[in-house]
Amino acid sequence: MASVTYNHVWKRFGDVVAVQDLNLAIEDKEFLVLVGPSGCGKTTALRCLAGLEEISDGEVLIGDQVVNDVAPKDRDIAMVFQSYALYPHMTVYDNMAFGLKLRKLDKADIDRRVQESAHTLGIENLLNRKPKELSGGQRQRVAVGRAIVREPKVFLFDEPLSNLDAKLRVQTRAELSKLHQRLETTFIYVTHDQTEAMTMATRIAVMNKGKLQQLDTPQMLYDHPANLFVAGFIGSPAMNFFNGKVLVENGDMFVDMDTFRVKVPAKDHEQYESVVGKDIIFGIRPEDIHNPEFAPPGIIAEPVDVTVDVTELMGNEIFLYLVNGTHNFVARVDPRTQAHFGDKMQVVFNMDNFHIFDPSLDPENPPIVGGPTATTVIEQ
């Protein structure tokens, strides 16, 4: 088993910087997920570790060994790509066993590994088929199985579930988590799907534009995002953002959003004194906006008048798309809520859970006020 370290890694394609000064320590046996939008550098970072891309600067280590100049086949890793890359003339069994045969493993050991992997992925009945006889989802599971049988030091996954249907994606996600627990091996997993990241990861590394934005546990990322990008990327539906200003009147502190305002709890005044009178961005998650009739007891609730624009009934919850003046935002409310298009109603903001971001410090990606900074959470 092995840890993985990116030490000031850069990757440039001509004038384009794909990965910028990446410092990341992945612990032995950890399940780390690299997450971010398309083009953020997460797959390039993975390919640099696999040896499929030559890094421009810095070092990549597997365990204590610098592997910059080590051939991919000698790095003791197994990688699952988004594409299946199966040998079309071989059966599923032979596809999964091929790498083991090249390493001249004992035939009984090869058979054991293939059978165990097939059972884990639910493809025992497919072992004698050719890839052309499989669905896309089945082919992807075979590709995952081919990596599993190698039992390497580090598993690398590049969006392996993207070609599965919704039900199989959830099922395979759970199987990968179980597999990680059983093998006790380092997993590094790339995805743009924050739900996959939140449900599987030990820690998540959020990337954007080639830079590591925040590294933390899923719950800490959700509760304490370092900046506007992380806050908006983690969580579904995404966090609501409002341009506003922090004001103090007669000893009370408010966030004024022009067409409405909410009072800041007294316990938080000190935290936000530095932005009084400044333009800020106020953030609150849809699940912290409630129908007053079904709001959780004991919360600090601030009322806001709204007009219902769209309703989405999900069965166990309702998404309300709401309008107040120029502001459009989403609430995730109790399924007993009776709301229809055009209704005027009142919702309450849970002021126990909100965030304020300061654009004056970074207009492109404002940091959170009074919370963790990107630097501190990456260096932990």
pLDDT digits (tens, 9 = 90+) for 20-32: 999 999 999 999 9
Pair (36, 124) in one structural domain: yes
Total domain count, the chain: 3
Pair (148, 202) in one structural domain: yes
Alpha-carbon span 179 to 173, nearest angstrom: 10
- For residues 181 and 375, the model is more confident at 181
For 51-98, the pLDDT digits (tens) are 999 999 999 999 999 999 999 988 989 888 877 788 899 999 999 999
Pair (198, 128) in one structural domain: yes
Pair (194, 74) in one structural domain: yes
pLDDT at 119 over 90: no
For 148-206, the pLDDT digits (tens) are 888 888 999 998 887 777 887 888 788 788 888 888 899 999 999 989 999 999 999 99
* pLDDT value for 376: 46
Pair (75, 151) in one structural domain: yes
pLDDT band at residue 378 under the 50/70/90 scheme: low
Alpha-carbon span 29 to 317, nearest angstrom: 37
* pLDDT value for 1: 60
DSSP H helices, 247-326, are 269-272
pLDDT band at residue 136 under the 50/70/90 scheme: confident
Pair (186, 123) in one structural domain: yes
Whole-number mean pLDDT of the chain? 91
Q: Which residue has the tokens 């999900």?
A: 314
> Which residue, 190, 209, 229, sits at the end of a domain?
229
* pLDDT value for 169: 83
* pLDDT value for 372: 61
Pair (260, 375) in one structural domain: yes
Q: Are 93 and 142 in contact (CB under 8 A)?
A: no
Pair (244, 125) in one structural domain: no
Is residue 234 in some structural domain? no
* pLDDT value for 147: 87
Report which DSSP code applies to 366.
P
DSSP H helices, the chain, are 42-50, 92-102, 107-121, 136-148, 166-183, 194-200, 218-223, 228-233, 269-272, 374-378
Residue positions counted in the chain? 380
Is residue 52 in some structural domain? yes
* pLDDT value for 154: 93
Amino acid at 117: S
This prediction's pTM = 0.88
Structural domain boundaries, residue 322: 287-350
* pLDDT value for 145: 87
**Residues 6 or more apart whose Cβ sits within 8 Å of residue 174:** none
